[in-house]
Structure formats: C-alpha cells, structure tokens
Amino acid sequence: MSPKRSSKSIIGISIGDLNGIGYEVILKTLADSRINDLAQIVIYGSKDSAQYYQKLLNLDQLKLNYIKKVEDIKGSKAHLLEVWKDKVEIEPGKANAEAGKYAFKSLEAAVKDLKEGHIDALVTAPINKKTIQSEDFNFPGHTEYLQATDEAEDSLMLMLSEKARIGVITGHIPLKDVASTINTDLILRKLTILNRSLKEDFSIRQPKIAILGLNPHAGDNGLLGEEEIKEIQPAIQQAKSIEVMAFGPFPADGFFGSSEFLKYDGILAMYHDQGLIPAKSMAFGEGTNFTAGLSFIRTSPDHGTAFAIAGKGEADESSFRNALYRAIEISGNRKMNQELLEGQFSPQKNRK
C-alpha cells in the first residue's frame, strides 16, 4: 500500500558507488532545506554510510529522518530509507567490489519502490560500471538495467540543459559498430520516443526535432557516405506520416557551431560522443541525463564517480541538484498531462 499522497512528488535517490562522490553531491544538495518545499526526498542507503559522509564533509547541520519503508515518510525533512545495516568499510576514491555491491543494493531497492508506485521518480548517483557487475547486474550501465527492469522495448538517453535536449540513437556501443547499427527502423523508434517524451514529460504540444547526419557534412549527397540517403532521410520522411515533425539530416559541426540548434525542441544525434560532446560543452557539471521511453522517471547527473576527488569535499553538486529538479519537474508534468487526459486538471489545485 502506497503512502497517503500530498501534492508533492516523492523522489527516490540511489546513492551510487559508496567510494565515489555520490553521497557528497546528494548531501550537499539536501543541505539546502528549501528543496523539501518542492518534494519529499528519500535516499536509499544506510544510516552509517550517510553519517560517515556527513562527518567527513562537516554537514552535521543536515538532519535526516531515518525510515524503514516509504510509508513511514513524515515531516518536512529529507528521509533516508535504510536498505542495509551492515558495517561497510568506506574508502573514498577506491574502486572495489564491496562498494559496487552496495551500489546495486541501493539501486535495486529504489527501483522496486519506483515500479510499485511508492515513489514518483528516481535520481541515480553515479555507479562504477565495472565494480557493480554481478549475476544480478550484467549491463553496461544504469540505462540498460532500467530498460530491462521496466521491460521496455526501447529507451533513449536524453541529455538536458537550459539550451538543448539532445538524445543519442546509439548509446554505449563501440564507434566501429555505429554505421552498421544505424537503420531507418531504429531512427524511427528513437524519434517516436523523443516526440512522446517532449509532449508528456516537457509539455511541448508540437515538438520540432532535428536529426543529425552520421558522416561529415551529412554525407555531402553521398560523396562522404550513403547512410544519410539510405537510412536517415527515409526515416525523416516516414516520421511525417505518424505526425512527428522531424527535420534534417544536419551536419553536426555547423548545426552546433551556429545557433541553428536553438530552433528545435529536441535533437537526435547518431552516436554517443556526437551528442554528448556538445551537451557537455554547453552545460558541463550542470546538465542532466534523463532516460526517456520508460514507464517511470529516472534522471542522473552528467558526471561519473570522480574517484580522484572523492572524500575531499571538492565535488560540485550543481548537476545532481539539477537532476533532482528535473525529476520533480517531469513528475509534475506527467501528473498534469494524465489529469488533462482524464479531465481532472485544475489550475488552482496545481498552482504552487
């Protein structure tokens, strides 16, 4: 049974790698208690590990409510749901299997509550993709694990900033495999996910989506590659038949080098670095990763575990804070759009 809901969304946080900067950026974000006015926050971790980092970072003024289940939420403080009580040795900056084990415990517990509707969204702190591997987690990263857990046919990595929303058609695959992976059907699937997300998660009624080319100069009419002619252009044409407004393919360098990208609500890049290099150039340390296409909401910061600075108090929490804000925003948009579909939306009820 879910807890009695207030107008605030309930946002879960998985702690990521215990030896990385996850706890640091989480606790620094929650040290500003004003965040509790916007949502009810639940960290999935342990009391001992949270207190270890509070002491290390001199954040003793941050008071958390410790709970055993989401139904125990009360008051206006952030909460920590105790997933384990084991005594775990924390070694900031060190990659080891022990930290990976508890990163998965946190993630698994949070996702369970997310799927069961006890929380409205999940913000994931960074994991170490190697140390988290086990019989239960055999995935390249969060995105693939969440897609499998959700039993979703597909998903889309979407990088968010104040300037752009950039998705990538091929994610964590070797560059040598990109050209053979790109095809019309795949592009259409990703276009459909992005179009739906822009409408439901960002409340954009008629989104305009830009598609980048794969090759230099978008193939230069076949001179530098034929993927644009054979795969990308047909996808753009077919998108029109399903009322998706897609444009391109655009040469990536000129598209981002000029102000052209500002004209579009969403952008689809062909491969990881083609999308993430401009995304992080625009908002490094402040951007957000959102996994579109899932039945539930998941955001994360745009950085990794940062072992080199873990435990030193140097980590910037801006990206994690923005990921938390985005989760709250998207949760609110989904609720509003669902109420609109059901004819129950009231501006007065939703005005905060």
Q: Give 80-112 pLDDT, tens digit per residue.
A: 999 999 999 999 999 999 999 999 999 999 999
Question: Sorting pLDDT into bands at 50, 70 and 90, what band is 278?
Answer: very high
Mean pLDDT of the 44-66 span: 95
- More confident site: 336 or 234: 234
Q: What is the dihedral of CA 280, 281, 282, 286, to 10 degrees?
A: 40
**pLDDT value at position 344?**
60
**pLDDT value at position 1?**
39
Question: Sorting pLDDT into bands at 50, 70 and 90, what band is 324?
Answer: very high
**pLDDT value at position 2?**
45
Please name each of the domains of the chain with its CATH number.
Answer: 1-152+294-321 (3.40.718.10), 155-286 (3.40.718.10)
Per residue in 101-142, pLDDT (tens digit) is: 999 999 999 999 999 999 999 999 999 999 999 999 999 889
Measured in residues, the chain has a length of 352
- Cα 149 to Cα 11: distance, rounded to the nearest angstrom: 19
Question: Sorting pLDDT into bands at 50, 70 and 90, what band is 5?
Answer: low
CA-nearest of 86, 87, 50, 88 to 66 is 50
Helix axes 318-342, 22-30, angle to 10 degrees: 70
| Contact residues for 287 (Cβ-Cβ < 8 A; gap 6+) | 159, 160, 161, 279, 280, 301, 302, 319, 322
Residue entry with tokens 């606790």: 27
Percent of the chain, pLDDT > 90?
87
* pLDDT of 340 strictly over 90: no
Question: Sorting pLDDT into bands at 50, 70 and 90, what band is 351?
Answer: very low
- Cα 17 to Cα 93: distance, rounded to the nearest angstrom: 10
Mean pLDDT of the 171-199 span: 95
Mean pLDDT of the 148-168 span: 95
* pLDDT of 176 strictly over 80: yes
Question: Sorting pLDDT into bands at 50, 70 and 90, what band is 257?
Answer: very high
**pLDDT value at position 315?**
96
**pLDDT value at position 74?**
87
Average pLDDT for the chain? 92
Question: Sorting pLDDT into bands at 50, 70 and 90, what band is 346?
Answer: low
Mean pLDDT of the 308-335 span: 95
Which range among 66-75, 229-238, 292-301 shows the weakest confidence by mean pLDDT?
A: 66-75
* pLDDT of 53 strictly over 90: yes
Helix axes 22-30, 47-56, angle to 10 degrees: 80
Question: Sorting pLDDT into bands at 50, 70 and 90, what band is 342?
Answer: confident
* pLDDT of 228 strictly over 70: yes
**pLDDT value at position 6?**
59
